[in-house]
C-alpha cells in the first residue's frame, strides 16, 4: 500500500472536524446552564425540562409524528409497487415520474403544490403536508425496493407460479418476504425524510400548522436559545436510531450506489 502523505491526512482530518464540531457544539450547549450559547457555565437538564413543558413544541412534535407515519405508510405502499414495477417491466413513464421529484429543486415542488391545493380550495394543513410528503418519498422507497429486487433470485417466483400459485400468492408468499428488509428500510427512510423536511412543508402547511422543522425555523429566526439545542439533540438521536436500523436491514442504504448495476 502506498504511504499516505501527511498533508492528505491533515486535510481529511480538517474536513471531519468541519463536519462534526458544529454538531458537537449544539449537543454540548444543550446541557449548558446559560441562556447564551457562548461559554460553558455548568451542567443542567433545564433546557430539556423547558422543552417538555413547551406546548407549541409538543404540538409540533405530535404533528411531525402524525405526518411522518402517514407519509411512510403511504409512500411505502406506493413506492414498493413502483419499485416492483420498475424492476419487473421496462417502462419509461414510471421511472421518470418516480425520479423527477428527487432530481428537481425542492422549492419547485413546494410551490407548485401550494398553487395546486389553493386552486382546488383544499385546506392547507396536516393532510396537504402528508400528501406532499408521500409524493416526494415514493422515489426513495422505490429505489431501495428495486435495489433489493435486483439482488433477488427470480427463479423462486417462477417456481411458485409453476406450482400453481396465483400472481398475488407468489408475491405474498415468496417475493414479499424476500424484499421485506428493503421495504422496511424504505419505510424508515421515508419517515426520516418526512420528519426532516422543511422546504416542501413550509409551502404546503398553511398558516396554522406547525411541524418540528417549521417550529425550529421560526424559533431560530428570532433568537438563538438553548431550547433549540435540546430539541435538536433529541431529533438527531431519533434520526440516528432510525438510520442505524434501516441500514442494518438494507446495507446499500448508506452507500452512494443504491442504484443496482444493470
* Least distance between other proteins and beta carbon 49 (Å): 20
CB of 200 to other proteins, least distance (A): 11
- Choose between 156 and 254: whose C-beta lies nearer to other proteins: 254
Q: How many helices (H) and strands (E) does the chain have?
A: 12, 0
Burial of 118 (C-beta count, 10 Å sphere; 0-12/13-18/19+): middle
Give the integer Cα–Cα distance in Å for 43 and 37.
13
CA angle 97/102/107 to nearest 5° reads 110
Using the minimum distance from each CB to other proteins, give the nearer residue, 37 or 44: 37
The string over 180-198, giving b where at least 16 C-beta atoms fall within 10 Å of a residue's C-beta and e elsewhere, is: ebbbbbbbbbbbbbbbebe
Q: CB of residue 21 vs other proteins: minimum separation in angstroms?
A: 8
Q: Which is nearer to other proteins, 58 or 238 (CB)?
A: 238
- CB nearer other proteins, residue 58 or residue 240: 240
| Distance of closest approach, residue 52 Cβ to other proteins, in angstroms | 19
- Report, in Å, the least distance between residue 45 CB and other proteins: 19
- Is residue 88 a contact partner of residue 150, using CB atoms and an 8 Å limit? no
Residue 44 or 247 having the CB closest to other proteins: 247
Query: What's the CA angle centered on 68, arms 70 and 76, to 5 degrees?
Result: 55
Amino acid at each position: 500500500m502506498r504511504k499516505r502523505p501527511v498533508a492528505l491526512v491533515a486535510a481529511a482530518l480538517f474536513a471531519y472536524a468541519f463536519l462534526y464540531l458544529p454538531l458537537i457544539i449544539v449537543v454540548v450547549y444543550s446541557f449548558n446552564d446559560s441562556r447564551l450559547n457562548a461559554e460553558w457555565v455548568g451542567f443542567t437538564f433545564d433546557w430539556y425540562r423547558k422543552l417538555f413543558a413547551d406546548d407549541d413544541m409538543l404540538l409540533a412534535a405530535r404533528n411531525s409524528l402524525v405526518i411522518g407515519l402517514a407519509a411512510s405508510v403511504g409512500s411505502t405502499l406506493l413506492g414498493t409497487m413502483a419499485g416492483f414495477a420498475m424492476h419487473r417491466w421496462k417502462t419509461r413513464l414510471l421511472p421518470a415520474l418516480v425520479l423527477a421529484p428527487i432530481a428537481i429543486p425542492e422549492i419547485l415542488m413546494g410551490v407548485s403544490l401550494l398553487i395546486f391545493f389553493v386552486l382546488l380550495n383544499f385546506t392547507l394543513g396536516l393532510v396537504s403536508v402528508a400528501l406532499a410528503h408521500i409524493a416526494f418519498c415514493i422515489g426513495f422507497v422505490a429505489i431501495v425496493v428495486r435495489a433489493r429486487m435486483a439482488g433477488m433470485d427470480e427463479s423462486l417466483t417462477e417456481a411458485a407460479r409453476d406450482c400453481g400459485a396465483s400472481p398475488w400468492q407468489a408475491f405474498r408468499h415468496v417475493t414479499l418476504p424476500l424484499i421485506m428488509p428493503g421495504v422496511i428500510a424504505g419505510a424508515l427512510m421515508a419517515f426520516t425524510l418526512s420528519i426532516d423536511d422543511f422546504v416542501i412543508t413550509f409551502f404546503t402547511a398553511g398558516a396554522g400548522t406547525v411541524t418540528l422543522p417549521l417550529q425550529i425555523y421560526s424559533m431560530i429566526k428570532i433568537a438563538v436559545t438553548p431550547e433549540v439545542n435540546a430539541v435538536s439533540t433529541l431529533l438527531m438521536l431519533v434520526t440516528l436510531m432510525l438510520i442505524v436500523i434501516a441500514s442494518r436491514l438494507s446495507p446499500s442504504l448508506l452507500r452512494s450506489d443504491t442504484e443496482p448495476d444493470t
